[in-house]
Structure 1
């Protein structure tokens, strides 16, 4: 994300902090990189990364479909005009409401277990999610293609699930594989696609191979795309992909102000954002880039801690910063994915505003919550 310190400071002055900010140019550039690598593959955005309606409308207008994993996400997709072949319904434990909404909109269902065949609405389009049982290069909580993961059917089960779908009158389009998120080693994708290709003799030709997403932000997309295309060609299938974090992470930053400093066993910068605004460091041990929007002659190592009464509410450790004055601004990078999406009202904290930068101007795309917004559903 290339927004200048001046533009970020303007946004914080206009909308307050904590604040999520998005760069429309970087969002467009990320989509362009995906399309340049994967060619005519159909692109579905994994909405869980960031479901802001303005971003969804922008992606929908660009011809991107949506992968949804909840009734709320399906409702968002419908709200921005997505339906039919532009909509996937995924998840390991779909509810009756999710099946009904997906069927009403003509979505394709991603079948995650064999007993789901009997739960699908009549004459559904479906893909079978396969777990290739790989040890992949990411945090355990993000490794959806590991043998111990709750996702997908085994390689041995997949052909039988395809046959069961056909026997039940469904349109069994093909296979789906998503091995995790923030994957560092492109060889993990090569291994996953190879294990799927091993099924070719047992499945015959397929209409679709959905290669999922999960590519690291610095991944060799063209190399991954070559492997994915080769796997799809082995089945005679059309290639689909589902980027989420890759499309939006670098388009977003979280702006936060310095509240003060303290020195105990370590040196802390206290800021007005914390685990309620950026959960990934606590949840996954994720490391986000940190930029100080001030300068000072002296620098030191600081831990950046939030306001929650939780020892784990530390956004970064051992960061080199200029001596922090009260009121100075920090920008956490790669926050466009799973920043706002995972934010919470824990401690009755009001979720931040969100703003989009395009053509030299800021636009508010989500207002800051009030405490009354947080508790309104309790007034029953």
Structure 2
């Protein structure tokens, strides 16, 4: 790890148009010097701006933040203070909502393989459960509030790993099975609130949502025949690209809401609310040339997994200047050939300690970071008129703290 301030070079005129944050180059340099690198930096005002965009596009809709995008308590508290609820997809995320003191109507419990702990704690809270398969009906206590998740079986414009509404995906009930699940849920005494649809994440073509919502409405006459003439809730999920046509998506969602006569429209943005607010700062360790030219960084797949997992292309901005520019691959420190943050980036010739800003990193960045190779996970800081340390950098002893030392005796379960 490069220590704070080591080899730092002052910004000398390169603009930050590609880094989607209001933070200035000097602020980013200051953060790196003060807190070290790798470092996640968040701009609180951008979170507020993204939330306003969603509210403007979906007036009157209830917003539940998909907290898997970034579950830092500073982010959760900021959103909750503005009336946003949460979608939890793991026991740990549900525990975070309980720690915050959330009421049941603030929480959606989702996921394809929920644990007994999630059923128990969610029911105690009075949360709304998303039924992902018919077998879940028998696992929920009578009176539990539920939505039935629909898989429309459609291809969408995103990476295959992010396509949750495709026919081969593990999520949701296929269209032809939804009526049966509604009947089973009613027979089990569950409180059926409505339908849930989430077709994927980072979807590039906004038209995909209109097609999916149109597929969903084919269920309306079938549900009316069962006596479900008017639904309480239509939850249309999230997954919009960062520059999606939100008004167009919202208009299609309202058409679907009208088809079901649903009293409430719910949306679940995750990445959209926080991605542009976050920047990963990383320092140059050195350069190397094989068949390709590399800039070696102190951050890589253990800090930002999305490039390796989804072939995500995050914008990269150098915070230094130099007379010559060359094309490089940005490689991390892991002993993995796939540990590359970005390929074919044109940069000024770097020196060790020069600072890079990797943009669109506020979502699925820090939450996916790992201690692979016993690396310490990075610190996180928030700018809200001043710097706030919202997660300290791990120490090596933090990485192995949960391990049982042989001399202390084995633990059996």
TM-score (norm 2): 0.91
Q: Structure 1 residue 218 and structure 2 residue 243: aligned?
A: yes
Shift of residue 81 of structure 1?
2.2
CA distance in 2 between counterparts of 1:151 and 1:342 reads 21
**Which residue is 1:82 aligned to?**
102
**Which residue is 2:410 aligned to?**
none
Equivalent in 99, 105, 113 of residue 133 of structure 2: 113
**Which residue is 1:372 aligned to?**
397
Shift of residue 186 of structure 1?
0.9
Larger radius of gyration between Structure 1 and Structure 2: 2
Q: Structure 1 residue 312 and structure 2 residue 338: aligned?
A: yes
Equivalent position SS for 1:296: coil
Shift of residue 105 of structure 1?
1.0
Query: Runs of at least 4 residues of structure 1 off by over 6 A?
Result: none
**1:295-347 deviation line (CA, Å, top 9, x unaligned):** 11111101000000000000000001000111000010000000001000000
**Which residue is 1:228 aligned to?**
253
Alignment of 1:119-268 (within 5 A): 119-204=139-224, 205-237=230-262, 238-268=264-294
Shift of residue 66 of structure 1?
0.3
**Which residue is 1:346 aligned to?**
372
Equivalent position SS for 1:300: strand
- Whether the aligned pair in 2 keeps the contact of 1:281 and 1:315 (CA below 8 Å) is yes
**Which residue is 2:357 aligned to?**
331
**Which residue is 1:19 aligned to?**
39
- Whether the aligned pair in 2 keeps the contact of 1:30 and 1:246 (CA below 8 Å) is yes
- Whether the aligned pair in 2 keeps the contact of 1:261 and 1:267 (CA below 8 Å) is yes
Equivalent position SS for 1:331: strand
Equivalent position SS for 2:402: helix
Equivalent position SS for 1:337: coil
Consecutive unaligned residues in structure 1, runs of 5 or more:
none
Equivalent in 59, 67, 82 of residue 39 of structure 1: 59
CA distance in 2 between counterparts of 1:363 and 1:16 reads 14
**1:242-283 deviation line (CA, Å, top 9, x unaligned):** 000000000001000000001111000000000000000000
CA distance in 1 between counterparts of 2:25 and 2:315 reads 15
- Whether the aligned pair in 2 keeps the contact of 1:133 and 1:146 (CA below 8 Å) is yes
CA distance in 1 between counterparts of 2:290 and 2:301 reads 21
Alignment of 1:39-78 (within 5 A): 39-78=59-98
**Which residue is 2:305 aligned to?**
279
- Whether the aligned pair in 2 keeps the contact of 1:84 and 1:107 (CA below 8 Å) is yes
**1:56-109 deviation line (CA, Å, top 9, x unaligned):** 011111100000001100011111221211100000000101101101111000
CA distance in 1 between counterparts of 2:363 and 2:239 reads 12
CA distance in 2 between counterparts of 1:119 and 1:133 reads 25
Consecutive unaligned residues in structure 2, runs of 5 or more:
1-20, 225-229, 406-413
Q: CA RMSD in A?
A: 0.7
CA distance in 2 between counterparts of 1:82 and 1:280 reads 30
Shift of residue 122 of structure 1?
2.4
Q: Structure 1 residue 302 and structure 2 residue 322: aligned?
A: no
Tell me how many residue pairs correspond in the alignment. Answer: 379
**1:197-226 deviation line (CA, Å, top 9, x unaligned):** 111001122111100000000001011001
